[in-house]
Amino acid sequence: MFYNTRSASKMSISEDLKEYFSNLIKPLATSNEALKNMLEKMQKDINDKFESLIKEQNDKINELESSIKVKDVVIPNLVIQCDDNSQYSRRSSLRVHGVPVKDSIDGNENILTTLQECYKSVNATFKSEEIDRAHRIGPVYHDKDGNKVRSIIVKYKSWKAREEFYSKRPKFSKNKPVSKSFSVSVDLTKRRYELLSKAKRVVTGNRNVNYVFSNINCALGITMKDGSFKYFNTDAELDDILN
């Protein structure tokens, strides 16, 4: 489309130049053949020069357009690949939400003691040696009782230890609420978290969709009404599922 437009412009410029020089020559060269030939040659030389410059510019524009098209494909793929690598490094971590901050006398919370209480509430066995590190993360907010709350991120030394706690996490359901005061989620990258949030919004009211989820492997998926699972990692894949 762009090439045709430029070609039309090129032809228009060339024709305009020819018409301009023809009109210039007519009054000057009616009685002087040598002058007429000289002006016609000048017209041709200038017109050829303009056409050459236009072709050169068109070639450069075509080259830039091709480069942009390649980048439009390569860059998004690189972003997803880097995000996948970042997500893989998070597979050994979990996030615990809704746990009030328990400040000690010296102002420093013993995060392992706080985690141990979470484990106890879901009848899970807590072993501090299985935890690589744990700390509070994210914004601070206050719950309905006025307690200061901030999420906890826990990095495990083994997949098994992570899976054991995740499998015993409080299960929340609209039809069967639980009294547990915290929730547990996988540690998603910002891109995946935003994609998951978007999916939850756009499936609302979709008669073919049961619910949206992220599994223990940090993969994003949709459970369909027929019981099948469909996984997605990009906006395009999500659109394909819903359409």
Are 9 and 66 part of one and the same domain?
A: yes
Tell me: pLDDT of 138 over 70: yes
Pair 69, 135 in one domain:
no
Please tell me the total count of domains within the chain: 3
Query: In terms of pTM, does the model score above 0.85?
Result: no
Sheet with 229-232: strands ordered across: 209-214, 220-224, 229-232
Other CB atoms within 10 Å distance of the CB of residue 161:
19
Q: pLDDT by residue (tens digit) across 107-117?
A: 688 999 999 99
In angstroms, the CA 180 to CA 165 distance is 14
Q: Is the pLDDT of residue 166 over 80?
A: yes
Both 157 and 240 in one domain: the answer is no
Can you point out the beta strands (E) in the chain? 93-97, 131-142, 148-156, 183-186, 209-214, 220-224, 229-232
pLDDT digits (tens, 9 = 90+) for 65-86: 877 877 777 788 888 999 999 9
Q: Can you tell me the distance from the alpha carbon of 211 to that of 144, in angstroms, rounded to the nearest whole number?
A: 27
Among residues 91, 174, 76, 77, the alpha carbon closest in space to that of 132 is found at: 91
Tokens of 138: 């994210």
Per-residue model confidence (pLDDT) at position 75: 84
- What's the domain range around 236? 188-243
CATH number for the domain including 103?
3.30.70.330
Same domain, 179 and 194: no
